[in-house]
Amino acid sequence: MALLIDNRQSKADDFQGFFEEVLNKTLEFLSLQLQLEISLLLVENEEIQHLNRDYRGIDSSTDVLSFPMLDLDPSDREAWVEELEASITAEDQQIILGDIVISVEKAEEQAKEYGHGLKRELGFLMIHGLLHLLGYDHEIGESEEQTMNAIQEDILEELNLAR
């Protein structure tokens, strides 16, 4: 598995091990034993605002953005896993899943607002972004939102990052 981190912000330390743990726990929770390649970009509010404006047409900062390489639907597990396995590259036997962008500055703001630590907020944002790369979408409807929220909270609890 490859988690490629590009840290373009000045506030956070090296979170490589932490984000790898979150990634591994998420895959374990979803019972996915696949080799993935994911790019994680850590930025400040100004940079994520530009990305949000350019790619979503929303000119404001946000906490996390996801740019999936695959069009996946986890509602049919068998077809979902088959699609993932069909995407394994011949060269390195990995699935290039996509990119996640997290504003560490926004994560700090939200951690204070919600009354929990930065690691919990960063863990939540990483899981959230990863679920989007895997095809989960809370914006489709209330049922999908509940499913995604439950998965996120269960994984955070397993990581000892519950509220």
Amino acid at the residue 68: P
Report the distance separating Cα 85 and Cα 133, nearest Å.
Answer: 15
Report the distance separating Cα 66 and Cα 20, nearest Å.
Answer: 17
Report the distance separating Cα 138 and Cα 143, nearest Å.
Answer: 8
Averaged pLDDT of the chain: 92
If you write DSSP's letter for every residue of 105-117 in order, what string do you get? HHHHHHHHHHTS-
Domains and CATH numbers, the chain: 2-158 (3.40.390.30)
pLDDT value for 91: 85
Average of per-residue pLDDT across 107-127: 95
Average of per-residue pLDDT across 1-14: 84
pLDDT value for 50: 97
* Helices and strands: H and E segment counts in the chain: 6, 4
pLDDT band at residue 163 under the 50/70/90 scheme: confident
- Residue 90 is given by DSSP the state T
pLDDT value for 116: 93
Strands (DSSP E) found in the chain: 2-7, 36-43, 64-68, 95-103
139 has a pLDDT exceeding 80: no
